[in-house]
Amino acid sequence: MGGLFTETFVASLLFGAVTVGIPLLLAGLGEQISEKSGVLNIGIEGMMLIGAYGGFVAAYYTGSFWLGFLAGGISGMVVASLMVLFCVILSMNQIVIGIALTIGAEGLTALLHHFQFSRSYPRLSEAPSLDIPGLNDIPVIGPAFFERHPLVYLSILLVVFVAWLFRRTHIGLNLQAAGDNPAALDAAGVDVKLTRAGAVLTTGMLAGIGGAFMANVGAGIFVPFMIHGAGFIGIVLAMLARGNPYWVLLGAALFGASLALTTALQVAGLNIPTDVVQMLPFAMVIVVLVLFARHSYLPPSLALPYHRGER
């Protein structure tokens, strides 16, 4: 075998794919819930960024990763509540508000970070991992999948849970109806705005946790603008997944791997210009979009505010 597929390379690729993929997975699942209910949540990038900042600050001062994730989730929900207020309750344009929230979050976190830490970038200790006995001894795969922070396992379980939620519960039916034909849901006696508000808040929570994971586990530091499009990739994943959480998982793995390629190729010491390497994930995004965008499905009432029986 040539230089490429060495054990170090593959190990680094898989490890990186999980690290990068988990925030994408959380964002994608969150966005999927939101979109199912008919809210195009473009503010998810901002929710992740605020979540990353809140999560980092909490983890930094308390020293607890769990409190960090909790703070990240709450921070994300705070941003999401703005989205609920403007887009769901006041029926304003979801795209405008979403972009405003993202840009606002970028400015706010940069400012807060500056006040808090000035120009220093303090680092967290390495995230504790929960080793799965037996499995973590497998070479290459073990360290990548079975010696990770518990949130990694929880996120995978979340996929199964969300799939069950969609298929087997009233919440699933309500979400689907809110995005497909909200008037039908209203006529069935379910509050459309409440359903959408719940969906958006959940999205905020998941996005915030995903952001906190990026900062605390992935990077170990907070840097302004660090989300760097992960939220937008989450939107793409949700659109390509046609309402199926397992497709979000697959997509997150795919995008995670291609994003991790950058680091992995550098670790493998391959003699390719860094610029080319850093371009790869985005080329991947474009290829995937071209190949699968035709199959994307959007709920008919996506991005349309709901008003009851007006004439």
- In 3-state terms, what secondary structure has residue 276? helix
Using rule CB under 8 A, residue 201 touches other proteins: no
Spatial neighbors of 236 by CB under 8 A, at least 6 apart, are 251, 285, 289
Using rule CB under 8 A, residue 177 touches other proteins: yes
User: Residues 123-162: x/- map of binding to other proteins (CB under 8 A)?
Assistant: ----------------------------------------
223 strand-pairing partners: none
110, 180, 220, 298: residue in contact with other proteins (rule CB under 8 A): 180
91, 169, 274, 296: residue in contact with other proteins (rule CB under 8 A): 169
Spatial neighbors of 17 by CB under 8 A, at least 6 apart, are 144, 253, 256, 257, 259, 260
Rank residues 225 and 297 by Cβ distance to other proteins and give the closer one.
297
DSSP 217: I
The pair phi, psi for residue 130, each rounded to 5°, is -110, 110
User: Residues 292-311: x/- map of binding to other proteins (CB under 8 A)?
Assistant: -------xx-------xx-x
Q: Do 196 and 302 meet the contact criterion of CB atoms below 8 Å apart?
A: no
Stretch that binds other proteins, among 42-50, 179-187, 201-209, 224-232 (CB under 8 A): 179-187
78, 92, 112, 190: residue in contact with other proteins (rule CB under 8 A): 190
89, 90, 157, 184: residue in contact with other proteins (rule CB under 8 A): 184
176, 244, 262, 263: residue in contact with other proteins (rule CB under 8 A): 176
Rank residues 91 and 169 by Cβ distance to other proteins and give the closer one.
169
Using rule CB under 8 A, residue 189 touches other proteins: yes
Q: Which two tokens stand for residue 259?
A: 């994003």
Rank residues 139 and 189 by Cβ distance to other proteins and give the closer one.
189
Nearest approach, Cβ of 290 to other proteins (angstroms)?
22
Q: Do 201 and 21 meet the contact criterion of CB atoms below 8 Å apart?
A: no
- Dihedral of the CA atoms 275, 281, 283, 285 (nearest 10)? -160
99, 183, 267, 288: residue in contact with other proteins (rule CB under 8 A): 183
- In 3-state terms, what secondary structure has residue 220? coil
The full DSSP string for 7-25 is: HHHHHHHHHHHHHHHHHHH
Rank residues 275 and 310 by Cβ distance to other proteins and give the closer one.
310
- CA 306 from chain center: how many Å? 26
Q: Do 91 and 305 meet the contact criterion of CB atoms below 8 Å apart?
A: yes
Rank residues 123 and 167 by Cβ distance to other proteins and give the closer one.
167
131 strand-pairing partners: 147
Stretch that binds other proteins, among 13-21, 149-157, 171-179, 282-290 (CB under 8 A): 171-179
Rank residues 75 and 174 by Cβ distance to other proteins and give the closer one.
174
Binding residues for other proteins, how many (CB under 8 A)? 24
**Given phi > 0 = left and psi -120 to 50 = alpha, else beta, which region is 225?**
left
Nearest approach, Cβ of 162 to other proteins (angstroms)?
15
Q: Do 214 and 149 meet the contact criterion of CB atoms below 8 Å apart?
A: no
Q: Do 53 and 297 meet the contact criterion of CB atoms below 8 Å apart?
A: no
Q: Which residues bind other proteins (CB under 8 A)?
A: 168-171, 173-174, 176-177, 180-181, 183-190, 195, 299-300, 308-309, 311
